[in-house]
Amino acid sequence: MQNRIVSTRNDEKIILFISSYPPRECGIATYSQDLIRALNNKFSSSLTLQVCALESNGITYDYPEEVRYTLKTSIAGDYEKLAEKINQDRNIQIVLIQHEFGFFHKQEEAFQQFLNLLSKPVVIVFHTVLPHPDEKLKSKITAIAASCESIIVMTHNSAGILTTDYGLPGKKITMIAHGTHLVPHLGKKFLKQKYGLNGKKVLSTFGLLSSGKSIETTIDALPAIVSKNPETVFLILGKTHPEVVKSEGEQYREMLEQKVRQYALQDHVRFVNEYLALPDLLEYLQLTDIYLFTSSDPNQAVSGTFVYAMSCACPIISTPIPHARELLTDETGMIIDFRNSQQLAAGVIRWLNDEPLRRNISINTLQKIVSSAWENAAVAHAMLFESIAGDNIALTYNPPAINLDHMKHMTTDAGIIQFSKINQPDICSGYTLDDNARALVAMCMNYKLTGDEENLDYIRRYLDFIRRCLQPDGTFINYINKDNEITAQNQTVNLDDANGRAVWALGYLVSLSVVLPAEIVSDAKTLLDQSLRSMNLVHSTRAMAFAIKGLYYYQSVVRSDEDFALFETFANRLVQMYRHESNETWAWFEGYLTYANSILPEAMLYAWMMTGNKVYKDIAISSLNFLLSQTFNENGIEVISNKNWLQKGAVPGHSGEQPIDVAYTIMTLSKFYEVFMDEGYREKMETAFNWFMGNNRLHHIIYNPCTGGCYDGLEETHVNLNQGAESTVSYLMARLTMEKYLDRGNPVRTHYRKRVALTALQRKPVFASGEKLLTDSLLS
């Protein structure tokens, strides 16, 4: 046992992983590294992750810095020494052990003694769970389980075996699916061209080669497949398992190569004899038309190769290992008998000749597996750690870097496209004023933050789209198709809300006249002045609220009594609506809660800030408090379901949660916090933002850090995988809003923010005594 010298802080909350670890070439080593990376990405501010690397056969490695210890698994005395080191480190909160029978088979008693000696809570991850154990095996597993605080398995089948065959208590077992990688879905055509596979139908399998993979099952099926589909190529990705090389050399690979020659399949089989880097592996899987999993081990509990293929949307034909039986249905794949080349050939031929079926299976597969993303696995592990450690661990989510990639990917020269299929823009869905107004706000926010000149090109595109939507009478249409034509939908849908959002976007842009180029500000001002001519006819609740927000920003730099009168008209209409509908238990403007609810109390706050009228302030606070009481609970935030709007007196639903509502809530809470400096608003802001990070009802990420997009909604049992304009731009507005609070522990920056707000206040015209109220709140 070796101890590497690594400096640690006295306040670190260390989770120690005991596992094989790269550069050792081993599936569990890769698994542990992927999990640790995901945990660090999400929780490095609250957890420190260290590793004790397992070594065997006298081989040692040059490890990365997170490896603090090594354990020679064949040396009995090293187990006791390691336990002593762990017990002496007061910062270690939990020991997590990746268990595979082969790791400890030479020193099973020493391993059990090690578990008994540890004074720290132990979590053990069983990678293999064998059914129908004999008494000896059952006794070993029972003893291991008794020494642990918690057990993790990766399938429901494994959990069932542990409770039924081993008699372990179910409350001690947590099922956390094997993690998978989010991928950008670059497109098969592009990737096939990159790897010299143009025009080919690609079958693939991957992993460290051994006879248990039964790859000969596929090679024996290939003559029949190639006779029907001569463009077929089978990729065998991966080198021979190092342990197999030690015991038998390359006999298995050589046998496979002989079969290829025997069947004259040299043009149809490619061996990629490498331990592939992850990006290369994921590209190979993304270009695959059908993935083949032919393991001959009926007790293989879980397969990382299997789920990685699913995460790349591969249609899968698999032998019936427990993991496959749990994940594959007729809609997500096909199960064949062990070593049955005839069934495999029939399945491949059917799928290769039915592209629509293959495409549907691909989408269903991705939907089935997305919940197992490493980011979700990290959330599940962290929640388990928190429950075990109690007050010793308080989880804090790391905010991801601001990423505009998907927003830009969704944007053409005409504007931002409305919908996407997964993360690919769906140009057939056309464009909307709603999305382009929000996109204009988000890009202006980013430009204000970064001064990135590239943002200006996108700002001009979104502004030009708003210009195309403006009609001669000063109103806006909302829908334009992919051919830049106004659609009939504009005649059948109420467009007031879209008009209100346009006023918000234009007003916000004009308010940034200090930082934006003069010609952009001038264009926006011209459009806004034209649109305000007809806005007094608007009575839609949210349209008026968005217009109030836009007029507030506009009035901060452009003085106009006429516009101020319109501002007050809208504010007073909202007051009348509130007085008509509200009562002791329902402090709201309507008899129902629908979408974008938080814009209403926010509009009332702007009204008070502009006028000093205390009525507006009281309604702003009471209506926001009511909304928060309906949307925040023990799960964090659960916004109003778009499946059934919340009627007065009804109970909130729990599905159809939209990113746009969470984002608007964050923006509203931010404004209330800036004005009143109430820490409760800031805390709820963080809670709401963590909804995107995975702190939600399903504990699934909503923001996709791989693409920079945002999933379109949190449904009852899953996320909507599409990453359209509304959700992606909404997330970005939320993330940009949160940026100014990330350094909240720095008093210099806090003072700077208050001074910036005060400077902006002093620039805007004074219409009423409310100015002093706002000044006092900002300097308090």
**Residue 56 or 147, more confident:** 147
Burial 701-717 (b: 16+ CB within 10 A, else e): bbbbbbbbbbbbbbbee
Nearest to 570 by CA among 667, 670, 503: 503
733: which 2 tokens?
Answer: 């507005």
| Residue 625 to residue 98: CA distance in whole angstroms | 47
Q: How far is CA 282 from the centre of its chain?
A: 18
Count of CB atoms within 10 A of residue 353's CB?
A: 12
535: which 2 tokens?
Answer: 């806005």
SS (H, E, C) 707-720: CCEECCEECCCCEE
The terminus-to-terminus CA distance of the chain in angstroms comes to 57
**Burial zone of 579 (CB within 10 Å; 0-12 exposed, 13-18 middle, 19+ buried):** exposed
Q: Please name the residues in contact with 412: beta carbons below 8 A apart, sequence gap of 6 or more.
A: 425, 427
Nearest to 224 by CA among 121, 344, 306: 344
pLDDT (mean) for 37-55: 97
pLDDT of amino acid 765 = 35
Nearest to 326 by CA among 349, 346, 300: 300
Looking at mean pLDDT, say which of 536-540, 699-703, 757-761 comes out highest.
699-703
**Burial zone of 761 (CB within 10 Å; 0-12 exposed, 13-18 middle, 19+ buried):** middle
Contact 445, 734 (CB under 8 A): no
DSSP state of 352: H
Instruction: Label the pairing between strands 67-72 and 2-3.
Output: antiparallel
pLDDT digits (tens, 9 = 90+) for 290-323: 999 999 988 887 888 889 999 999 999 999 998 8
Contact 694, 400 (CB under 8 A): no
58 — pLDDT class (breaks 50, 70, 90): confident
Nearest to 50 by CA among 2, 82, 18: 18
Helix (H, G, I), strand (E, B) or coil at 556: coil
Question: For residue 427, what are the CA distances in angstroms to 148, 430, 431?
Answer: 54, 6, 8
pLDDT digits (tens, 9 = 90+) for 230-246: 999 999 999 998 889 98
| Residue 755 to residue 748: CA distance in whole angstroms | 11
| Residue 367 to residue 718: CA distance in whole angstroms | 8
Q: How far is CA 138 from the centre of its chain?
A: 39
**What is the percentage of the chain residues whose pLDDT exceeds 90?**
86
Quick one: the chain helix, strand, coil %, rounded to 5? 50, 15, 35
Cα four-point dihedral sign 434, 436, 437, 443: positive
| Residue 508 to residue 676: CA distance in whole angstroms | 22
| Residue 320 to residue 180: CA distance in whole angstroms | 20
Count of CB atoms within 10 A of residue 173's CB?
A: 18
pLDDT of amino acid 301 = 75
**What is the percentage of the chain residues whose pLDDT exceeds 70?**
94
pLDDT of amino acid 3 = 61
352: which 2 tokens?
Answer: 């290769």
CA angle 623, 624, 625 (to 5 degrees): 90
Count of CB atoms within 10 A of residue 438's CB?
A: 25
pLDDT of amino acid 620 = 98
Contact 301, 326 (CB under 8 A): no
Question: For residue 592, what are the CA distances in angstroms to 189, 383, 589, 663, 716?
Answer: 49, 35, 8, 20, 21
290 beta partners? 203
pLDDT of amino acid 8 = 54
Reply yes or no on whether the pLDDT at 176 is more than 80. yes
Reply yes or no on whether the pLDDT at 747 is more than 50. no
Reply yes or no on whether the pLDDT at 744 is more than 70. no
Amino acid found at 674 = E
| Residue 734 to residue 670: CA distance in whole angstroms | 10
pLDDT of amino acid 762 = 40
175: Cα within 13 Å, side-chain hemisphere: 17
Phi, psi of 537 (to 5 degrees): -85, -10
Residue the block writes with tokens 């029972």: 142
pLDDT digits (tens, 9 = 90+) for 391-435: 899 999 999 999 999 999 999 999 999 999 999 999 999 999 999
Nearest to 642 by CA among 657, 626, 625: 657
**DSSP characters for 156-212?**
HHHHHHHHHTS---GGGEEE-PPPB-------HHHHHHHTT-TT-EEEEEESSB-GG
Q: Classify 64 in phi/psi space as left (phi over 0), alpha (psi -120 to 50) or beta.
A: beta
CA angle 300, 103, 75 (to 5 degrees): 165
| Residue 533 to residue 568: CA distance in whole angstroms | 15
653 — pLDDT class (breaks 50, 70, 90): confident
| Residue 57 to residue 73: CA distance in whole angstroms | 9
User: CA 639, 643, 646, 647: dihedral to nearest 10 degrees?
Assistant: 170
pLDDT digits (tens, 9 = 90+) for 670-698: 999 999 999 999 999 999 999 999 999 99
pLDDT of amino acid 484 = 94
pLDDT (mean) for 757-774: 38
Mean pLDDT of all residues belonging to the chain = 92
**Burial zone of 723 (CB within 10 Å; 0-12 exposed, 13-18 middle, 19+ buried):** buried
| Residue 382 to residue 45: CA distance in whole angstroms | 12
pLDDT (mean) for 221-228: 98
pLDDT of amino acid 243 = 84
pLDDT of amino acid 768 = 38
Cα four-point dihedral sign 181, 185, 188, 192: negative
pLDDT of amino acid 199 = 95
Question: For residue 728, what are the CA distances in angstroms to 313, 392, 705, 720?
Answer: 22, 35, 11, 13
CA angle 180, 185, 190 (to 5 degrees): 135
Nearest to 205 by CA among 256, 162, 259: 256
Contact 49, 57 (CB under 8 A): no
pLDDT digits (tens, 9 = 90+) for 64-83: 999 999 999 999 999 999 99
Beta strands in 715-770 (DSSP E): 719-720
Lowest mean pLDDT among 26-30, 377-381, 638-642, 763-767: 763-767
759 — pLDDT class (breaks 50, 70, 90): very low
2: which 2 tokens?
Answer: 């070796």
The whole model's pTM is what?
0.91
Reply yes or no on whether the pLDDT at 453 is more than 60. yes
| Residue 442 to residue 726: CA distance in whole angstroms | 11
